[in-house]
Structure formats: structure tokens, C-alpha cells
Structure 1
Amino acid sequence: MPDTPITPTERPVHFLHRGQLQQVGGLPPTTTVLQWLRGHAHCTGSKEGCAEGDCGACTVVVATPDAQAPGGVRLDNVNACIQFLPTLDGKALYTVEDVAPTPDTLHPCQQALVQCHGSQCGFCTPGFVMSMWQLYQAHDQAPPREALADALSGNLCRCTGYRPILDAAQQMFDAPRQVLDTAPVAQALAALPDSTLVLGREPGQRFIAPRSLAEFAQWRAALPEARILAGATDIGLWVNKQFRTLGDILYVGQVPELRAITPWADGKGLSIGAAASLEAAWSALAERLPALKELWLRFASPPVRRAGTLGGNVANGSPIGDAPPVLLALGAELVLRHGEHTRRVPLSGFYLDYMKNDLQPGEFLQSIEVPWPTAGQMVRAYKVSKRRDSDISAVCAAFGLTVEHGVITEARVAYGGMAATARRAALVEQALVGHPWNEATVQRAQAALAQDFTPLSDLRASQGYRQQVAANLIRRCWLETRPQAPMAGDQVEVWPAVV
């Protein structure tokens, strides 16, 4: 492999918007979709609220070619304020201006918001419309109200409140169906260029989107200082809030191999490509491990999960990231790649210190290898935060316990929010292994926890609160999994069951 990849010909970003081919060049690679919409396309229906992917006022829907999706196109609602415009290459963009069938009529989701009085000041309404429109396309009939609330958890309203908006989300399914015909969209997207996108010519100012794993590895080896970009759910804030320059950008989103989620050949685990979306990755994990479903639904919001990636969450290494504790409890390993060479490292040895990891120059995360629990192994995961939805954890805990004949034979206990990195609680594990799974062992493990961690106090929680909650979660795990009279999840859940 040559040291420097052959530079493809520079070309503009190609995508569809309002049924027309858009060819955009000459803008900084960190221009956001929202900036382009409002400042260049003069489509001002999408609003800027927080500029950090939290409020949902800027929500748009992106159509991506996907052979597994109905009609060959996957529709994702994402936050336009933190999505960089070049990531739209080869896709179609839909905004609130696009959903009505004619200028004089409303789409059922819009009409339902009118009839249910779901809008007051109206600033958040375009974002709600787009999330509701995506939901409408994905379902033939109204999902349960709780599922509607989960689907809209990335859209915030401070005027009307959520009851009339949820009413509208239910009512929109009662009108005659008006769904997007995705077949022409798929055909139009197939006609767009599929060559590697390179924007910019000057080193340190380029956006490069390779189209294969081998090509990505070649670029990464040649540009070890380049910033790897996935969903921009974190990096987008660096630009919007911290006004940082990113240098050369290597985008993983156009590499099919990095987006793949593949069962192991022996059926004993799952290989999750580093660019697989959080939504797809958590869905695959929760399908096999239902105990992870609540954490999946509470991990950020649907727009963030559909843009962000599991590999990004792992490689970023935030001590309050929710994926690493779960993956640590499952015994996950990482496949790291440099050029044509790969190496495997356990996730437990990947994090070296606060925001520091074992990645070497020119190396990148290729996949996360997750073994399925063995017979007798129980998995539980819990998130504690101030809000139920779309909030950062104060404490996240995950447990992988193997119990044989009432005795714990193996334990992996991991926490986020308790130290400079997400990590396993070694002394808690020692206090558990070899002992019966009973209340005395729980108390022993709780006492050991204080020696494993000395958490900080910050805006999310005090040190004492974190210590108490982390210890309480050991008890909650026991209550749910104890050999005698285990409690169902809803018996230890404090959130209301009905919205």
C-alpha cells in the first residue's frame, strides 16, 4: 500500500432537496445543514434553537439508500444544526416545506397539530412536524402512546406541553394515508455520483469521504492527524459552541463495511461496525438482550441515535458515555486497524485516562466485537439522570453476572460517571465472585464499591449522591435477579408506565 493515497478529483456535494439535484461546493466543510437551508437555500421553516442537537427545532429528515429498508430508502429524523452539509452526499433532504401535498393543503401530521391545538408560539413546531412525519412514514397505524412519546423525545416544547402534541401524533393516523413514494427517490439517489467525495485542496482544510474500508484505511494511514467524523453529535458542538477548527476531516459514513452489523459465524456474538448508528446497534443488542431496551430508549434521543454511531461513543471515551459500561459488562473487544493490519484489544484495556485511549497514530476503530452471554449469565443495565429522556447520566451501571446453583461464578460490573473513564469495579467483582447471590453478598459488594471509586461532584450530581446511587443499583440488580421471588422490571421502575 502506498504511503499517500491517490487523491480523487475534487467535486461538489450531490444531494436531492425539494425534488431537485443540488450541487454544492465552495463552502467550508463544517457548514451545517441548517446554515445551508436558512442562509443559502432560503428555506427558513427549520429553526435554530440550541445549536447543539438537544431541542429538536431544527429537525429534518434525511433519506439514505438502504437495500434493507422498505422501498430501498431509509428515512431518519436528525438535527440539522449539528449535521455538516457534506454528510448529505448521495442522500435526499426533507424539511417542513416538503411534507404538505400541495401549497393549499396540509399533511395529516400538520392537520392533526392544528386540530389538537399542538402549537402555540410555533418555534418548536417544524421540528415536531418532521419527527411526526418520519414516524408516520414508518407505521401504518398509530403506535402505543408510550412509543409515540419515545419517538418524540428529541423534540422539546415549552409552550403547549406534550399532551396535545401526543394527541396529534395519535390522530394523524386516522386521516387518509399520505405516504412518501420512496421508489422514485431510490431511483434518483442511485443516479448520483458514488465516487469518493473530496472537498478542499489545501491540507488541513479537506473533507474526505472514502467509499470502502480499504480506502478509508489508506487515507487514515496517510493522514494520522485528520479528525475522524461519524455522526457529528459531539464534534458538531465543537464547531458551534467552541468555534474549533477541525483540520482535515475523514468521514466514516460512506463506508459500508463500517456500517455493517454482522452475527459471528458461530452465532456466539455480534460484530458491530464502528460507523453503525447508535439506533441500529442498540436495536440489535436489545433484540437479543431485552434488559437493555430501557437504556436504549433513554440513550440521547432518536435524532441523535440515528446520526451518532456506537463506534463514536466508544472512541470518544467520555466518562459519562452510556455505551461503554454495557459493553464492558458484556466483555466486548475492539478491532483496531492501521493500513492492512488489525489488532484486538479488550475494551477494559482501551481507556488509559480521561479522554485518552490506546489508539496509535494512523489507527482507527474498525468494529466492536460483542460476545453474547453464556448460559446462566444475567445482564442488567441502568441509567440515572435528572430527566428521563434526552439527558446525560449522573450514573450508568451495567452488570454481567453468571450464577450457578445460587453462587456467583463470574462477575463483570461496570460504571460510567464514577471516574475519569467508564471502567469495571474490580473490588465489587471480587466481593461477588464465589459467594451466594443473596443480600449479605449485596451488602459486601456495596461496601467494596466505595474503594473502587471516588467520584467527583459536578452540576449533574454530588459525590455522595453518586456513591449512594451506584450502591443502590447493585441492590436493584439483585432484586431483579435474586433466586427467590425476583421482582419484575416495572416493580423497581420509578417512571410512570403510561404517558
Structure 2
Amino acid sequence: MIEFLLNGRMEKVDQADPNLSVLEWLRTKMRLTGTKEGCASGDCGACTVITGTPDQTGKIHYQAINSCITLLGSLHGKELITVEAFQQEPGHPAQTCMMEKHGAQCGFCTPGIIMSLIALHANHQSATPDDHKLLEALSGNLCRCTGYRPIVDAGREAMVQAWSPDASHPAAGLKNDRSANALASIHTGGITLKAANDGPRFDAPASLAELRELRSRFPESRLVAGSTDLALEITQQLQTLDHLISVERVHELNGCRRDNDELVIGAATPYEAFRKPLSELWPAFNPMLERLGSLQIRNRGTLGGNIANASPIGDMPPPLIALAATLVLDGPDGARKLPVEAFFHDYKQTDLKPGEFIHSIRIPVPKPGEKLFIYKVSKRLDDDISAVLGAFKITLEAGIVSDCRLAFGGMAATPARAREAEAALRGARWDEASVKAAAEALSRDFNPLSDVRASAAYRLQIAGNLLQRALLASDPLVRDALTVTDYA
């Protein structure tokens, strides 16, 4: 059975198909149809809702998420707020401003946009968010008929207005601790949600020991964390997944910590939770992570999930390979360590043994002379999948490349290093001639495919151009002239 708050009221679900998305449950079971289905893949934002998740201290953190690819079982112990909560007075400034600024036409996308704006408003109560934060919050919401200028104008206006609901308001938890008190009464142990007649099953263990035991008993089960990719098998491929084990609530798999000369990130840690500590060490991650999906996706998607999915165009593996990061794998036979670059065997094939899972990722901290460059190329700036992603760690001593690790996504069946290009750079001056030689060597490293995102020739050319970009960006005069977008 799962328990959670829905618009201020406690809900208990003791029997349901674990393949149900939050969106489908809301619309078909609860008849809360304000939340819309536009794409069922986490791209358009029409399904945006707000979830509140208690931390270790009991404080609730509110986030906008895509309900179309969030599974019902993941709601246990959380608060769920939908657009229907704001039918009760007082209305939220985001609603009023969208009307006053003419931010809606057909209105289909409007509920999702409203929820994204409300989440941003709730998380910046002490300071007004700037345009950068506003655009980031709206980057996962598509509108086909209004145009974005009036929507952005509405957001700017809403962010400077106060909202003060009383304690009876369905979304009052955004402003006070009422929800925290209610959620504290929900049990924090592992849960199981099953469909009728011994149908599909969803387990959500709360400890590492429980997870190991479940994986030992059910090695054929599918692991799920944020479900930002796995849920597409349900919503796009119309599959029924018989047994899911969620790692989202396993305490040992969450959070970031510094361990001497490494940053350790739990595999179930969402992107937005590790973005700041990782970017403080390696600043190149910040603009790349801002372009990894939308804010709704980054609030749910996890580092372990991005790696275990083993996509050749996953955004995190190339920079982790460039940094010589290490995976900690766990399972019924205990823990073991493995370099990230050794984890990928072939397309969608990894080194995981039956019953194993990714426990954490250990990322080295910078050493003197090391520079990291990460560049993502995609057809649009926001909320898109990479055609090519290049990550380069260059170690310079008196202008000489004493060491380097060059990794790419989108160039082969797996994320991979460019060892011939590395050999061309290592020991050479960090200048145009050596970079040109390294770019030419890429054709010996990779034989990329042509697909809908890019041709093979384009991929080889752009991979070499990204090395040239890293050289230009390392020149202080050139770097100072580049914009944030140039680094993205």
C-alpha cells in the first residue's frame, strides 16, 4: 500500500497496476483532468504537477515534475499538488498574470505552465528569481499557439507578487509546515504495490539491505529510479512491466559527499541534487546539466539511471569517462569497483551481473593543471537529446599537454574514449597544430552511424570542431569574449 497527500488530503492506494503513471491515475481514477497529456514522454510539459518530498530533517522540497512518466508507486510518503488545488481562493499570481498578460490561447498547455511557475515561485520566497531561472523553469513547457513572450512576461510579473493562502488551502503546504506534519505520520519503511489477481508488482525498499534481498530473490526484476527513460517503455511502446524495484527511497543510494579526493554521488541522486556540488568542483558541468532534459526531467532523473541505461548518447558517461570516474557496483555477492569506461560492453550491454545495481559514482576532484571541457551538440538548445557530446580533460604543464582523456557520446555504440586523438595530443603543445592532428585522428577512433540526429560525416567534423572549441576557450582573451551559450 502507498500513502501520500493529494491536494492537501491523505490518499491510500492498496491495489493498483504499478505501470500506471501519475497522470493516468489522476485522469482516469480521480477524474482530475486539469493535468493534460501532450506527449507521454516528458517533452512538452502539459502534464506538469508539483511534488513535495521530505528530507532527513522533515523539511519538504517542492519540485515540478512530468506526471506522464512518473509512476504511481513513487508517490509514497510525498505530497502531490495538481492544478485543481488552485481553484480555491486565493488564486495564485501565476494564474492572474497569465490572463492579464494574454499568456494563453487554446489553453491546453496552460495548466502545465502554471504549475512550473508556481513551483518556481514557491522555491524563491526570499528572493525574486532572475530571467535565467525563469527561462530554465519554463524550458520544459512547450506552447504551440501563444508564443513565449507573453508567457515570460506573465512569469516575471508573478514572481514579484506575494501569495498567502490560509491553512485550509489545498496547496497551503507550499507556504507552511502543514504538509510536513501530515507526511510525518506515513511509515518510512519499504512498500509494495500490486495489481489485482497477482498482477504486476512494484517494490520500493527503504534500505540497502532490503534492496539486496529483493534483487537476490528477483534477479529478473527491473530497477527504476526517476523513470524518466524506463517509463517510455510503458507510455510509448505500450509494454507491461511485470516487476519493478524502485531505488528512489534507498537512503544509502542518495546524496553527495566528499571523501578525500573524490566526490561520491549516490546512484539514486537526481541531477538537480548533485548539480551544485559537482559544478563547484568542475564548472564545465553546470551549463551541460542545464541542457540535460528540462528542469522537470532533472528533478526526477538520476545519475545511476543515466549510466545504467547505457545509451550511446547519454550525457553523463562521456565526462565521467574523461575524469576517470569509478562506479561502485553492489548486489547479492557484495560490492565491487569498476572504471566507468569499462562498464559499457556494447550497445545497451553493461558489466552488471544478475542481481547487481549501481550503488554510487566516485568522481576525482581537480588537480593542478587539469581543465575540463564539456560540449553538447543538439538540434535545439533546450530539452533535446545529443547528436554528439564531447568531454575533454586536459592536463597542461608549461603549455604542454602532459596528459589528456577525450571521451565522446554519439560517436559509437557506447560512450568511448578517443585514444588515437589522445596520443596525438599527449606530449605536444596545446596549440592549433596539435589540436588539428588530434581532430584528424578521430577518424581512426570512430566510425559513427548516420541517423535522424546527424550524419556520420557531420559527427566526425563536429567532434573535431569541439576540440578546436576547447582550445579557443582555454585562451583567456577568447574565453572572456564567449557567452554562456557558447559554452553550452
Code of the aligned partner of 1:49: G
Report the CA distance shift for 1:446/1:203 in structure 2 as closer, same or farther (over 3 A): farther
Report the Cα offset of residue 203 of structure 1.
7.2
| Equivalent of 1:371 in 364, 372, 381 | 364
Name the counterpart of 1:416. 409
1:34 to 2:23 alignment: yes
Aligned AA for 1:115? E
Q: Given the alignment of the two structures, is residue 454 of structure 1 paired with residue 441 of structure 2, yes or no?
A: no
Distance 1:356 1:334 in 2: 16
Match of 2:464 among 465, 471, 476: 471
Seen in structure 2, the aligned counterparts of structure 1 residues 489 and 329 have a Cα distance that, compared at 3 Å, is farther
Instruction: Please tell me whether the aligned partners of residues 256 and 265 of structure 2 are also in contact (alpha carbons under 8 angstroms).
Output: yes
Aligned to 1:161: 147
Aligned to 2:186: 192
Asked if structure 2 preserves the Cα contact closer than 8 Å seen for 1:142 and 1:170, the reply is no
Q: Is this contact kept in 2: 1:480–1:489, CA < 8 A?
A: no
**Contact residue 350 and residue 358 of structure 1 kept, 8 A:** yes
1:77 aligns with 2:64: yes
CA 193–238 in structure 1, closer or farther in 2 if over 3 Å, else same = same
Question: 1:9 maps to which residue?
Answer: none
Counterpart for residue 160 of structure 2? 174
- Cα distance in structure 2, aligned partners of 1:492 and 1:27: 46
Distance 2:159 2:135 in 1: 15
Q: Which amino acid aligns with 1:226?
A: S
Deviation at 1:288, TM superposition (A): 2.0
Distance of 1:383 and 1:449 partners within structure 2: 17
Deviation at 1:21, TM superposition (A): 1.0
Q: 1: CA distance between counterparts of 2:164 and 2:456?
A: 52
Q: Is the 8 A contact 2:103 2:151 kept in 1?
A: yes
1:340 is displaced (CA, Å) by 5.9
1:400 and 1:411 in contact (8 A); partners too? yes
**5+ long unaligned stretches in structure 1:** 1-11
200 and 114 in structure 1: CA distance in 2 versus 1, 3 angstrom threshold:
same
TM-score by structure 1 length? 0.93
| 1:222 is the counterpart of 2:217 | yes
Matches within 5 A, 1:135-146: 135-140=120-125, 141-146=127-132
How far 1:26 sits from its partner (Å)?
2.2
| Matching residue of 1:87 | 74
- 1:25 equivalent in structure 2: 14
Aligned residue number for residue 432 of structure 1: 425
- How many angstroms does 1:491 deviate by? 5.0
Out of 243, 247, 251, which is 1:252 matched to? 247
Q: Tell me the distance in 2 between the aligned counterparts of 1:17 and 1:189.
A: 11
**Paired letter, 1:173:** M
Cα deviation 1:54-78 (Å, max 9, x = unaligned): 000000000111146xx70010111
- What runs of 5+ residues in structure 2 fail to find an aligned partner? 166-173
Q: What amino acid sits opposite 2:408 in the alignment?
A: Y
Contact 1:108 / 1:178 at 8 angstroms: preserved in 2?
no
Partner of 1:125: 110
Determine whether 1:488 maps to 2:459: no
Measured after TM superposition, the shift of residue 283 of structure 1 is 2.7
In structure 1, distance between residues paired with 2:398 and 2:199: 60
Which residue is 2:236 aligned to?
Answer: 241
Q: State the SS of the aligned residue for 1:488.
A: helix
SS in 2 for 1:290: coil
Question: 1:287 pairs with 271, 275, 280, which one?
Answer: 280
Residues 386-434 of structure 1: per-residue CA shift (max 9 Å, x gap): 1000001111010111000111111011100110011111111111111
Please tell me the residue identity of whatever aligns with 1:170: R
Residues 444-499 of structure 1: CA deviation (Å, up to 9, x unaligned): 101101111111111111111111111100000000114x7442372594599xxx
Partner SS state of residue 235, structure 1: coil
Which whole-Å CA distance do the structure 2 matches of 1:178 and 1:269 have between them?
44
State the Cα distance separating 1:177 from its structure 2 match.
3.4
2-structure distance, mates of 1:148, 1:181? 20
Q: Which letter does structure 2 place at the counterpart of 1:64? A: T
Q: Percent identity?
A: 45
- Structure 1 residues 204, 329: closer, same or farther in 2, change over 3 A? farther
Q: How far is 1:99 from its partner?
A: 3.1
- Partner SS for 1:341: coil
In 1, Cα distance between equivalents of 2:193 and 2:450: 43
Matching residue's letter, 1:135: L
In structure 2, what is the Cα distance between the partners aligned to 1:177 and 1:151?
19
Deviation at 1:138, TM superposition (A): 0.8
Instruction: Give the AA of the match of 2:482.
Output: D
Cα distance change, pair 320–336 in 1 and its aligned pair in 2 (3 A):
same
CA distance in 2, matches of 1:402, 1:182: 49
The one-letter code matched in structure 1 to 2:61 is R
Task: Give the direction of change, closer, same or farther, for the CA distance of 1:260–1:146 in structure 2 (3 Å limit).
Answer: closer
Contact 2:255 2:273 survives alignment (8 Å)? no
Aligned to 2:168: none
> Is the 1:449–1:471 Cα contact (8 Å) retained in structure 2?
yes
Contact 2:287 2:484 in 1 (8 A): no
2 CA distance for matches of 1:214 and 1:122? 48
> Which runs of structure 2 are paired with 1:253-268 in the superposition (5 Å)?
253-264=248-259, 266=260, 268=261
Q: Who is 2:377 aligned against?
A: 384
Q: Does 1:313 align with 2:306?
A: yes
Deviation at 1:153, TM superposition (A): 0.4
1:98 aligns with 2:85: yes
**Separation in structure 1 between the aligned mates of residue 26 and residue 345 of structure 2, nearest angstrom:** 41
Letter in 2 for 1:14: E
Distance 2:280 2:151 in 1: 29
1:55-104 alpha-carbon deviations (Å, 9 max, x no partner):
00000000111146xx70010111111111111011110011113551xx
Query: How many equivalent pairs are there?
Result: 478
Provide the aligned C-alpha RMSD in A. Answer: 1.8
Cα drift, residue 261 of structure 1: 1.1
Q: Is the 8 A contact 2:64 2:296 kept in 1?
A: yes
SS in 1 for 2:318: helix
Structure 2: distance between partners of 1:490 and 1:143:
24
Residue 333 of structure 1 pairs with residue 333 of structure 2: no
